Amino acid sequence: MTNIIVAGAVGLILSMLGTPLAIRLFSRRGYGQEVREELQQGGHHSKRGTPTMGGTVIVLAALLAYGASHLAMLSTPTVSGLLVLFLMTGLGAVGFLDDFIKIYKQRSLGLRSGAKALGQLVVGAVFAFLVVRHPNVYGITPAETRVSFLRDIGPSIGIVGFTIWVLIMIVGFSNAVNLTDGLDGLASGATGVVLGAYVLIGNWQLRNNCIDQLGPNCYWVRDPLDLAVVAAAVLGALIGFLWWNAPPARIFMGDTGSLALGGVLAGLAIATRTQLLLIILAGLCVIITLSVIIQVGSYKMTGKRVFRMAPLQHHFELKGWAETTIVVRFWLIAMLCAALGLGLFYVEWMPRP
């Protein structure tokens, strides 16, 4: 438990103190945000030039916090924790390239969609290859070639099927968080509540691990404590960043942050064996992604738009909702989704009549 507290505290302090330094550095170098033309009329013109790539602070603070927690406890990092951090950092690097191209070419579009997807797939494929290897002394690997909900379910889908499934999760959730970004503090708050849920899930799995106490509902999870430490480190870094990203934002996380955060959520879901549960825990991101799918599908099939603009948050902007109203209400939806997911996770432990 001390590892979790140290990771969260160090991540918070480093991000809180490091973000203002990043704001000054990026401002001096002209690393400012470009805004889509259709959003200029919605008041987003004032955001043009706001420093972006703030996700670099989140990633660096989380990595240092994770290391500090192990150093403080004189413990050894685990394979599961390092793999999730690799996924976060790798996708963050893809996002960094995207952000840098936007800044360098002074446009709202960075990497071409194909190049961006290729980067996500390469990082995801390496993660998928490694996550089903490296068994511990009990033969438990960070993940099994099975789909999971509250734990692994059904038969093995094979290494090829599992790799495809993992890539769908990684690309899907990294893009989902990316789509959720766009309003000050929205993605930070929405992903923060999911990370908080994974701190609780990892801690619960630790206390009911099959290695320590074999029982009907115990968990065959390789490194539950370290996964909770990873979630706490990223959560602390995210809270410190949100202090400066809250409306009106003084810095944006950019694709560097949104892709990294989507990656860490997918990685935690895979390593804690709660893959399908993430759809509920991160329900707001899923809803926003569905709004884009519905908008594009409707326009291609009928020539008509369902929403005034997609993603969903911009629809409400064009309806006249204040930005802070949208952010707070969407945060509430994110909290309800996380609470529902946690409730489902704990439901199998409720006493049966």
- In terms of Cα–Cα distance, which of 273, 280, 257, 268 is closest to 342? 280
Cα separation, 33 vs 23, whole angstroms:
12
- Closest by CA to 255, choosing from 74, 60, 56, 83, is 56
Phi, psi of 147 (to 5 degrees): -80, 150
Greatest pairwise CA separation for the chain in angstroms: 65
Amino acid at site 88? M
CA–CA dist 132, 19 (Å, integer): 36
Q: Is 255 annotated as a binding residue?
A: yes
Q: Provide the token pair at 81.
A: 């924790």
H-type helices in the chain, by residue range? 2-29, 37-40, 55-73, 79-105, 113-131, 158-180, 186-207, 224-245, 254-271, 277-281, 283-302, 312-318, 323-347
CB atoms closer than 10 angstroms to residue 136: 14
- DSSP-derived 3-state class of residue 152: strand
CB 271 within 8 A of CB 83: yes
Task: Give dist(CA 83, CA 142) in Å, integer.
Answer: 9
Backbone angles phi, psi at 144, to 5 degrees: -110, 160
Residue 178 annotated in ligand binding: yes
Q: Residues marked as binding?
A: 178, 255
Q: Which residues are annotated as a binding site for Mg(2+)?
A: 178, 255
